[in-house]
Structure 1
Amino acid sequence: MTTDSTRPKLRSPAELRRSMGAAARGRPGGAAPPVAERVIPWLLGATVAGSVLSIGAVHTPTLALVSAVVAIAAALSLRASALGGEASHVKTLPALTLLGLTAYTLLQAVPMPLAWLDRLSPASADIWSRSLMPLGEAAPRYASVSLDPGATLVEAVKWLTYTGVFITAAFVGARRGAKLGITLVFGSAFLAALTTIAHGLLGATTVFGLYQPRFSVASWHVGPLLNPNNLAGYLNLGILSGVGLLLTSRPHLPAWVIGVGLTTIVGVGIIASSRGGLLALPLGLALFALLSRRRRGRHRAAARGRGAAAWLLSVAIGGGALLAALATTNRTLSEMADDNLDKLSLFRSTLPLLADHWLLGIGRGAFETVFPAYRQSPGNIVFTHAENVVIQWAAEWGAPVAAASLVALGVAFRPGKIALRASTAALGAWVGCAVLLLQNLFDLGLEVPGVSIALAATLGSLWGEAHGERPRQEAPAGEPGPERWRPWLAAGCAALSALVLVSLMVRFGWRDVDHDRRSLRAQSDAGAASGAGWPRFREELRAAILRHPAEPYFPLLGAVAALRGGGESPIPWLQRTLERSRRHGRAHLLLAEVLASRGAKEQALLSLRLAVEDDPGVTDTAAGLARQWTHTWEELLRAVPEGKAGVAVLERMATTGDRRDEVDLRLRCAEEAIERDRARIGAHWAAGDALLAMLEAPGSARCGGDDGRRAACEREIEAHAAAVQGLDDRSFFAVQLRARLLLLGKKSAEAEQLLAGSCERLDNRAGCLRLRVVAAAQMASSERLLPALRELLSASCTSLAACAATSTWAGDLLAARGDYPSAVTHYARAAQDEPTEERLLKLADAAGRAGAHIEASKALERLLQRRGGQDPALRKRILEEKAKALAPSLSP
């Protein structure tokens, strides 16, 4: 049976559109596209790659540059579409939704009379109305829905940029297919992975040697995207795009290049140690495999040629896993195994914020400054985002707009609207987008412009191919009237509007809250907030408050400046700080100092307690202040939180001050801490230390007097040492308590023997060796002292400063024993490593006592030189030392 070769084959709508476009380009009227149109894909590629390589375009200057490039690319795309008489992608549901969100975000930053705002958003109006209360001023007359208008302007530019990227990518996808846009995103992910590897191999701590991260970044995490969650989300999109490209027919890149890229991206994605990213990637690969099986039967001929590509895919993913295994460190494994669930607490804390601002939101970009008033977790932590894209949008845009936008975008990009059956590349890219969105239910990746630009480029490419335009037909050159200028008019208006918005962002949005915090803190530290500089600083503080009315840091800074300057009361500033941050330990700590200075000791101690409950990081300071303000147990307990929350405070109180200072109170604090938590090593040591101090004091009521009380105290000390050893057998505290107890009983040889056999295995070897030297120094013979000193110096000399300090200590100990020749040796080493006047004087004194008068005169001459040669008393002493050195040779 023969077939009719002349019978046309049925083709998909996407193939028909591409063939029609090719035919149009082959006709004289549709010849090669003009230069302006050919440059559009290059601009799209520069935008996608440049936005991620420039630290994700999170900084305003970088975002302004990226947005300007996108404005040009989108304008050229609109012009090219209009010249061909094609329907503009601006009128599609995704573009209209993105433009609507841009317009709404911009409206959030527009000032309105405060009375209007009070009707629309009472919670926001209340924040604005009370913002200037610390300065003693009335509420501002005009206010915006946004509680950080500058940040909202930046967000409006971001969303306009995403719109421009989508329009540009849709145009490129319609003309040249989705594979080109998908390839650009894959290539950008490859570049991000390569640069991250390069930084890791070089051990770099700055990005491209230019940008210093403002937070601690682990090795192999330094790169264009510093946050591991953002990096993992971006790379997951690249991985699934690459998988689709590798298994599709006629990709834009050779198969081996895609394989190498996948290996690199997979390896870096695993090293990123993002739990969300590592969980989302297998789900995405499984979804891709499931969807690709459904379309495999329709393309059996193409599927038979994919065997080699499938093998290459397996090798690429396996190679990536191997690369990750080779670069994995203990820190990487600990990050993967981290069971921190603070994000769940963050989600719960955001619910009251949603209840207060459910209708219009707090303004896009204002989350960082508003959320402290709702934060429930303790600690000095700044949450910049809600870590969940749905909660973030609802909090900042309001629930109605967030819900409408999610529904509109979900409808627009559902599988039925995207040409997923047209190619495997389209399927992989769409699954990559779904995986990225899934991860952002627990991460903040979409808040980084570089990540969202890649997402918009991918979805735009898929949309463009699925809704391909008609073949391009140039408008007649001689057509009169306004029709000839309409393409230019639309493109020009779009570009001009974008550039105007970028200019507004640069003018009003570049001073973000982080910039203002750092700038004002630097001025305060430099003393510009006190004395004659206070009025100017106050004005700058006022301007920052009006830019960020909900931010609690600026009232706190005002309170600190007012307390230092003494010209204003810090109380109104602190009141505003605690209004805008319910758990602010440093504000309570400052309030405690103010109350104590005014004689309100009970209220001050209560504020210390609140400070510790809100921020455990102030425990040491609070414990020290409490011990400074009161010496009674009942009052001291006012500053201690209930239960285990107060154990750290009690432990610190037990170790604060001189070892002999108020030993009974310190012992009571330690015993109370142990009663609340028996697993506190520091509390056991503090109790043993206090008991040793009581044994040293003959008149101690608890350990002094008869032998029975002393023996009971010794048994308690041994019990505390045993408890420490049971909790951590490498802890120096247990050995230290036992050795000090032996030394107190004049058993220095036994103490030295105990320490000599223990120091090598303990966590504080240098401290153990120093105590061993003390024990050896109490022995009658110096046989064990010099070896102990040598071992101590060997362990302590990690730097010149440390070596000089240890040598000075050793010299002091030997001088106290009367061994001045040996003391000279150690003082000389200290003066050589890090000379100070005190060390040179000690060297001269010890040398003079040892009879080394030449050495003494040399040390004094060095000291005289440091003093500029203007010390007559020192000159006289130098002459005396030299005379003593010459005396033996002049004797008859």
Structure 2
Amino acid sequence: MTGATLAPAARRLWLGRALLATLAATVLAHGGASTVELDFAALGFALLALLAVTVPVAAPRLACLQVLALLSLAALLAFALWQTAPLGASPFADPAWKALGDAIADAAPRGSISVAPGLTLAAAPALAAPFLAFAVALACCQNDEEALRLWRGLAYFGAAYAAFAIVQEVFWPDQLLFEPKRFYLGDLTGSFVNRNTAGTFFGVALLLNLALLFADLRVVRLARLARRGKWSGPSAALFLHLFAVLDCAAALFLTRSRGAIGATLVATLVATAMMAARRLTLDRGREELFARWRRPAVAAAALALVLGLFALFAGRTEHRAQALASEDARWCVFSSTVAAIADYWPLGAGFGAFPDVFPAYRNVDCAGVYGVWDHAHDFFLEGLLGFGLPFVGATALVYLTLAAALIHGARVRRRLRFLPVAGLAALVLVTLHAIVDFSLQIPGVAVYVAAAIAAAVAVALGRADEDSAARRGLHNRAA
């Protein structure tokens, strides 16, 4: 192989390493929750996206998906920018600007769609980061091996971060990295400020490592392993990934996030059931009297193990959920947000403007008068309030595209089928939790999920492109 042949692969290797480093820095910087941290994170992913241009995506379907992601981002950013533009007395402008102009003599109304143009501009990096991370990840995954390498990097980082969070909670429970911890004392949050955000992250990390665990099972003979007890090679990797799964599960339960634990339970059941539907191990032979029952037995055992772990460790969370169910103000906030959407549904109140819009609709009878609500605790409601109808179209496009690709991969792939299956489960997890919380609005979680799903999609669609190219090559040679 010539140096020219190796150059693209080397560029993809270093681009993947830079992506993991930028992602890790975003997670450790409180998930990019503050404005300064967010701006640096978005700048890092933007620079990586520029570098990714030098690494063209060879697989046609992946190239189209990358272009679609970047075009979708451009359209959303353009719409957000239009929401901040001064429109004067335009009928598209929010009526609040006219009322402000009438109240202030000799003041020309600004007349923008967004109620808070400054907040809309400040929130743009949070919108851009996951789309850029997804596009960069696709550029790093030109074949199965590269996609698996990125997946392993994300899974191992998630497990290492979970171990760090547990150690921090045990020995320095009052610290948030290098700062005093002010919120959620007694709950594990890692470097995130909110336990629910941390819970979503650990849940996704658990799914990534669970996929690697099932992949290891396919290349070992459990009967021989039990007889000889050789813990090397594939068997060593099996126990490494089992430990990683338990590590992420422990961190998840210690967050005591009701939504994250429940969503992870559902997603884990989905992943376990789909992965156990195919051959699990290399065990064969006549000595296996009940070989035909292995698949349903192992599937039932895996599901029972998952349910047992959640039943064992989630007791405190269940008790807390029962104690606070009637006092959780977020249910009241949902109804207030829906009332705001009814007034702003065509073009939205401005992306990121929720903190300024919500106080006018806040129901003090159930939400109280204390505290500041920066988010709606529902990704979809807040997105609809901010963007209006365009959010519905963008969300439908994203979900239909990703779900179609991952389901296709789960149906047609064999050796690396666990990647699209786990990617689909991760999509289920973040969707369920996004209904009751704002984890997806935190850049550290959003970019982690985007990179993982990109690796899964690369496996789901990449081989189809390779097979199609091979068939075209055979046809051309025959002609």
The TM-score with structure 2 as length reference comes to 0.78
Matched, 1:269 2:238: no
Is residue 98–residue 162 contact of structure 1 (8 Å, CA) maintained in 2?
A: no
Q: CA deviation at 1:32?
A: 5.4
* Shift, 1:318, TM fit: 9.3
Contact 1:169 1:461 survives alignment (8 Å): yes
The answer to whether the 8 A contact 1:89-1:167 is kept is no
Residue 98 (structure 2) aligns with: 129
Aligned-pair distance for 1:266?
0.6
C-alpha distance in 1, partners of 2:209/2:445?
17
Contact 2:196 2:259 in 1 (8 A): yes
Q: CA RMSD in A?
A: 3.6
Distance 1:48 1:304, change over 3 A: farther
**Structure-to-structure mapping, 1:586-665, within 5 angstroms:** none
Alpha carbons 1:70, 1:165 under 8 Å: kept: yes
The answer to whether 1:174 aligns with 2:142 is yes
2:26 to 51, 58, 67: 51
Partner of 2:418: 424
Distance (whole Å) between structure 2 residues aligned to residue 285 and residue 444 of structure 1? 21
Largest Rg, 1 or 2: 1
Give, in whole Å, the separation in 2 of the partners of 1:209 and 1:76.
Answer: 32
CA-to-partner distance for each residue in 1:796-823, whole Å, 9 max, x for gaps?
xxxxxxxxxxxxxxxxxxxxxxxxxxxx
The amino acid of 1:379's aligned partner reads V
Cα distance change on mapping 1:142 and 1:442 into 2, 3 Å: same
1:321–1:441: structure 2 CA closer, same or farther, 3 Å change rule?
closer
C-alpha contact 1:262 1:316 (8 A) present in aligned 2: no
Which residue matches 1:157?
Answer: 125
- Mapping of 1:154-303 within 5 angstroms? 154-175=122-143, 176-210=145-179, 212-213=180-181, 215-249=182-216, 254-294=237-277, 296=278, 299=279
Query: How many Å separate the matches in 1 of 2:176 and 2:96?
Result: 39
**CA distance change for structure 1 residues 90 and 102 in 2, over 3 Å: closer, same or farther?**
farther
- What is the alpha-carbon distance in structure 1 between the residues aligned to residue 320 and residue 238 of structure 2? 36
Residues 1:381 and 2:371 are matched in the alignment: yes
Return 258-267 or 142-151, whichever deviates more: 142-151
Q: Check the 8 A contact 1:95/1:163 in 2, yes or no.
A: yes
Q: Are the structure 2 counterparts of residues 425 and 311 from structure 1 closer, same or farther at C-alpha, using a change threshold of 3 Å?
A: farther
Task: Report the Cα offset of residue 379 of structure 1.
Answer: 2.1
Instruction: Give yes or no for the alignment of 1:440 onto 2:453.
Output: no
Task: Label 1:84 to 1:217 Cα distance change in 2 as closer, same or farther (>3 A).
Answer: closer
Letter in 2 for 1:385: H
Partners of 1:395 and 1:314 in 2: CA distance: 39
Percent of matched pairs sharing the same residue: 21
SS of corresponding position for 2:148: helix
2: CA distance, partners of 1:272 / 1:138? 54
- Supply the distance in 2 between the matched residues of 1:337 and 1:184 (Cα, whole angstroms): 39
Moved more, 172-181 or 353-362: 172-181
User: 2: distance between equivalents of 1:86 and 1:289?
Assistant: 28
1:743-766 per-residue CA deviation (whole Å, 9 max, x = no partner) reads xxxxxxxxxxxxxxxxxxxxxxxx
Partner SS for 1:81 = coil
CA contact (8 A) 2:62 2:458 kept: no
After superposition, give the CA deviation of every residue in 1:781-807 in whole Å (9 maximum; x if it has no partner): xxxxxxxxxxxxxxxxxxxxxxxxxxx
Aligned-partner Cα distance in 2 for 1:355–1:441: 19
- List runs of 5+ in structure 2 lacking aligned partners: 220-233, 286-293, 467-479
SS at match of 1:104: helix
Once the two structures are superposed, residues 592-623 of structure 1 have per-residue CA deviations (whole angstroms, 9 ceiling, x without a partner) of: xxxxxxxxxxxxxxxxxxxxxxxxxxxxxxxx
Query: Which range moves more in the overlay, 335-344 or 196-205?
Result: 335-344
Query: Using a 3 Å threshold, how does the CA distance of structure 1 residues 198 and 289 change in structure 2: closer, same or farther?
Result: closer
Give the equivalent residue in structure 2 for 1:38: 13
Pair 1:302–1:199, CA change in 2 (3 A): same
TM-score normalised according to structure 1 size = 0.44
What SS does structure 2 have at the residue aligned with 1:113? coil
**Structure 1 residue 363: deviation in Å?**
0.9
Partners in 1 of 2:58 and 2:242 — Cα distance? Answer: 40
* 2:272–2:299 CA contact under 8 A, matched in 1: no
Kindly tell me: are residues 220 and 356 of structure 1, through their superposed partners in 2, closer, same or farther at Cα, counting changes over 3 Å? Answer: closer
Partner of 2:371, secondary structure, is coil
User: How many Å separate the matches in 2 of 1:318 and 1:256?
Assistant: 20
Q: Which residue of 2 aligns with 1:697?
A: none
Q: Which residue of 2 is the match for residue 120 of structure 1?
A: 92
1:323-402 superposed matches below 5 A: 333-334=319-320, 337-339=323-325, 340-377=327-364, 378-398=368-388, 400-402=389-391
Aligned to 1:147: 115
The equivalent of 1:99 in structure 2 is 74
Cα shift readout 1:414-447 (whole Å, capped 9, x = no counterpart): 2455522422133123202211111111111111
Q: Indicate if the aligned counterparts of 2:187 and 2:195 stay in contact, CA closer than 8 A.
A: no
Distance (Å, rounded) in 2 between the aligned partners of 1:178 and 1:443: 30
* C-alpha distance in structure 2 between counterparts of 1:223 and 1:465, whole Å: 31
Deviations 1:561-605 (A, max 9, x none): xxxxxxxxxxxxxxxxxxxxxxxxxxxxxxxxxxxxxxxxxxxxx
**Residues 723-752 of structure 1 deviation map (CA, whole Å, 9 limit, x = unaligned):** xxxxxxxxxxxxxxxxxxxxxxxxxxxxxx
2:454 paired residue among 440, 449, 460:
460
Helix, strand or coil at the partner of 2:55:
helix
| 1:129 maps to amino acid | K
More RCO (CA 8 Å, sep 6+)? 2
